[in-house]
Structure 1
Amino acid sequence: MTTQESFETPPHPENDAGEMRCVGVEIEFGGLDGRRTAVFLADELGGTYRQTDPYAYEVTGTPLGDFEVTLDTSYAHYQSKSHKLLDEVGSRLANLVGAAAELVVPYEIVTPPVPMDRLAEVARLLRRMAESGASGTEKSVFFAFGLHLNPETPSRKAEGIMPIVKAFALLSPWLWRSIDPDPTRRLLRFADPYDPTYVRLIADPDYHPDTAQMIDDYLAHNPSRNHDLDMLPLFAYLDEARVRARLPNEKINGRPTFHYRLPDAKLGDPSWSFAKEWNRWVAVERFAADADRLAAAGRAYLARAHDEESWAEEVAEFIGS
Structure 2
Amino acid sequence: MRCVGVEIEFGGLDGLTTAVFLSEELGGEYRQTDPFAYKVTGTSLGDFEVMLDTSYAHYKGKSHKFLDEVGARLANLFGAAAELVVPYEIVTPPVPMDRLGKISKLLRRMAESGASGTETSVFFAFGLHLNPEAPSLTAGGILPILKAFALLSPWLWRSIDPDPTRRLLRFAEPYGCDYVRLLADPSYEPELARVIDDYLAHNPTRNRDLDMLPLFAHLDEGRVRARLPNEKINGRPTFHYRLPDAKLGDPGWSFAGEWNRWVTVERLAGDPERLKEAGRAYLAHEGSEEAWSDKIAGIIGA
TM range (shorter): over 0.9
Aligned partner of 2:81: which letter? A
- TM-score normalised to the size of structure 1? 0.92
- TM-score normalised to the size of structure 2? 0.98
Aligned partner of 1:170: which letter? L
Partners of 1:84 and 1:244 in 2: how far apart?
32
- Aligned partner of 1:292 among 252, 273, 287: 273
2:40 aligns with 59
Matched pairs, number: 302
Deviation at 1:21, TM superposition (A): 0.3
1:226 aligns with 207
Which piece of structure 1 moves more, 255-264 or 21-30?
255-264
Structure 2 portions without partners, runs of 5+:
none
Cα distance per residue 1:234-287 (max 9 Å; x no partner): 000111111111111111111000000124111111111100100000000000
Partners of 2:165 and 2:138 in 1: how far apart?
38
2:230 aligns with 249
Which piece of structure 1 moves more, 61-70 or 260-269?
260-269
Deviation at 1:138, TM superposition (A): 1.7
**Contact residue 285 and residue 292 of structure 2 kept, 8 A:** no
1:306 aligns with 287
2:147 aligns with 166
Deviation at 1:68, TM superposition (A): 0.1
1:191 aligns with 172
Structure 1 portions without partners, runs of 5+:
1-19
Cα distance per residue 1:43-86 (max 9 Å; x no partner): 11111000000000000011100000000000000011000111
Partners of 1:138 and 1:300 in 2: how far apart?
36
1:156 aligns with 137
Instruction: Name the Cα RMSD after superposition.
Output: 1.0
Cα distance per residue 1:5-29 (max 9 Å; x no partner): xxxxxxxxxxxxxxx0000000000
**Contact residue 190 and residue 263 of structure 1 kept, 8 A:** no
Is 1:260 matched up with 2:251?
Answer: no
2:15 aligns with 34
- Aligned partner of 1:201 among 172, 182, 186: 182
Deviation at 1:313, TM superposition (A): 1.2
Partners of 1:181 and 1:222 in 2: how far apart?
21
Query: Taking CA–CA contacts closer than 8 Å with sequence separation of 6 or more, which of the two structures ends up with the larger relative contact order?
Result: 1
Partners of 2:270 and 2:23 in 1: how far apart?
39
**Contact residue 185 and residue 263 of structure 1 kept, 8 A:** no
1:76 aligns with 57
Aligned sequence identity (%): 79
- 1:115-154 equivalence runs, <5 A: 115-154=96-135
Partners of 1:171 and 1:298 in 2: how far apart?
10
- Aligned partner of 2:67 among 86, 94, 97: 86
Partners of 1:49 and 1:190 in 2: how far apart?
31
Partners of 1:307 and 1:165 in 2: how far apart?
22
Partners of 2:52 and 2:208 in 1: how far apart?
22
Aligned partner of 1:115: which letter? P
Deviation at 1:188, TM superposition (A): 3.9
Is 1:175 matched up with 2:156?
Answer: yes
Partners of 1:285 and 1:239 in 2: how far apart?
24
